[in-house]
Copies of this chain bind each other. A is one copy, B any other.
Amino acid sequence: MKIIKGGVTAAKGFEAASTAAGIKYKDRTDMALIYSKKPCKTAGTFTANVVKAAPVKWDRNVVESGVKSQAVIVNSGIANACTGEEGYGYCKETAEAAAKALGIDAEGVLVGSTGVIGMQMPIEKLKNGIVKLAEGKSKDIESGTLAAKAIMTTDTYEKEIAVTIEVGDRTVTIGGMAKGSGMIHPNMCTMLSFITTDAAISKKALQAALSEDVNDTYNMISVDGDTSTNDTVLLLANGMAKNEKIKYDTEDYKKFAEALHVVNEYLAKKIAGDGEGATALFEVQVMGASTKEQAKIIAKSIVCSNLTKTAIAGHDANWGRILCAMGYSGAEFDPEKVDLFFESKAGKIQICENGTAVAYSEEKATEILSQPEVKAVADIKEGSEKATAWGCDLTHGYIDINADYRS
């Protein structure tokens, strides 16, 4: 497996475009198109929130119907959530406008929205944007990057990655882009993530690879504990690499799934590290667990604790908060067996042994916690399972952004 330059346009046959449709933001792009020359088998995972945005309902119908998709229209600024039948109607109008502009079937158009909840779409602006997107689409690497920028809300940088694997004598490419920032505590998958691949692969294998992996990637990140109404991951495969078709549970499937995992984990970590107001990516590894589930529950509880996240913001090795968060996670373990470590580029330090403090240098701990990527490792010494979760620190920036997000 090789990491290469680019994102959603890296795989053969995929094009992208972006435009400033003036939906809510001024002076920036706010719409993106992903287009495939050939129709794509499509896998998707969606929010577990009972309140589902209109595009989530639309895309789930497309994915479950089994029709091939050929385009994704994404907008930022307005989430099209809590908008009732009117909002769902706008998804249909969006798909129809895109179908007309691109000369494809409307039933194969996926839509994605992110932004304010409860506001209706300015559909005419959207339609004008779609015409521009269709005109401007390109297979350039650059156009993928610009699309990744257009879907951002409070994100501070675009998130994209592409990798290649060899399947038989063919090179298969997987590329993806994602946006996150706030209301990030995915349950099924995160805010918006779009993955494209030219792999020839069965629909079953495609969906399985995605569904299995989201539990270890997007579902293991949290910015603020708020599971969004719009969480969507879409994976489009157009088969243009012309490899022998990848089937479920084969060696090639494993290779594909591993490469997809690299893409998903990369994007998930970028979302966590670029959480609203974040100054640090906070990685938590729980090891020595009896089951993976136990390790996951504890790791997520730590990464979601406001007190722990605020301590990370202050570069303060306040380890008691971590033990506290482990304790209320809902998982059973023996607190008097827990070893705790902090780690970053500046070094590694043991903070706690068998549940109580060891002598450590606060100065050194603060130095370790002052890096842009910091890690806590908790060993509960029960077994050999482990899990990792990713989050960020909780800062004044988060308050600034969210105390008046709508205006």
Interface of A with B (CB < 8 Å)?
48-52, 79, 81-84, 86-87, 116-119, 182-183, 185, 187, 224-229, 304-307, 310-311, 313-314, 316, 318-321, 323-329, 331-333, 335-336, 352, 354-357, 394-396, 398-399, 402-407
7 further interface pairs, Cβ-Cβ under 8 Å (given A310-B403, A396-B396): A50-B326, A84-B356, A225-B305, A226-B324, A226-B325, A307-B402, A311-B402
Query: Considering only CB atoms, which chain B residue lies closest to A326 in the complex?
Result: B51
Which residues on the B side are within 8 Å of A229 (C-beta)? 320, 323-324, 327
From DSSP, what is the main secondary structure of chain A's interface residues? loop
Task: Give Cα A184 to B307, complex, Å.
Answer: 10
Q: List 5 A-B contacts (CB under 8 A).
A: A49-B324, A50-B329, A87-B356, A117-B323, A225-B306
Contact of A356 among B83, B314, B331, B355 (CB under 8 A): B83
Q: Decide: B307 and A82 in contact? CB cutoff 8 A.
A: no
Q: Decide: B399 and A118 in contact? CB cutoff 8 A.
A: no
Q: Across the A-B interface, give the 9 residue pairs with the lowest CB-CB distance, nearest first.
A: A117-B320, A314-B403, A51-B327, A227-B328, A310-B402, A118-B320, A49-B327, A50-B327, A224-B306
Query: Considering only CB atoms, which chain B residue lies closest to A115 in the complex?
Result: B320
Query: Considering only CB atoms, which chain B residue lies closest to A356 in the complex?
Result: B84
Task: Give Cα A106 to B324, complex, Å.
Answer: 29
A310, A313, A324, A325: most-surrounded residue (chain B CB, <10 A): A324
Q: Decide: B324 and A405 in contact? CB cutoff 8 A.
A: no
Q: Decide: A311 and B403 in contact? CB cutoff 8 A.
A: yes
Task: Give Cα A82 to B335, complex, Å.
Answer: 8
Q: Given that A117-B320, A332-B50, A399-B313 are contacting pairs, would A305 and B82 also be in contact in the complex, using a CB cutoff of 8 Å?
A: no
Q: Decide: A328 and B405 in contact? CB cutoff 8 A.
A: no
Task: Give Cα A324 to B182, complex, Å.
Answer: 13
Q: Decide: B354 and A324 in contact? CB cutoff 8 A.
A: no
Q: Decide: B82 and A406 in contact? CB cutoff 8 A.
A: no
Q: Decide: B116 and A328 in contact? CB cutoff 8 A.
A: no
Task: Give Cα A226 to B313, complex, Å.
Answer: 17
Task: Give Cα A314 to B224, complex, Å.
Answer: 17
Q: Decide: A328 and B82 in contact? CB cutoff 8 A.
A: no
Task: Give Cα A82 to B86, complex, Å.
Answer: 54
**Nearest chain B CB to A394 CB, angstrom units:** 7
Which residues on the B side are within 8 Å of A86 (C-beta)? 356
Which residues on the B side are within 8 Å of A314 (C-beta)? 402-405
Q: Decide: A84 and B354 in contact? CB cutoff 8 A.
A: yes
Q: Decide: B118 and A352 in contact? CB cutoff 8 A.
A: yes
Q: Decide: B352 and A316 in contact? CB cutoff 8 A.
A: no
Task: Give Cα A105 to B166, complex, Å.
Answer: 77
Contact of A51 among B81, B305, B324, B395 (CB under 8 A): B324
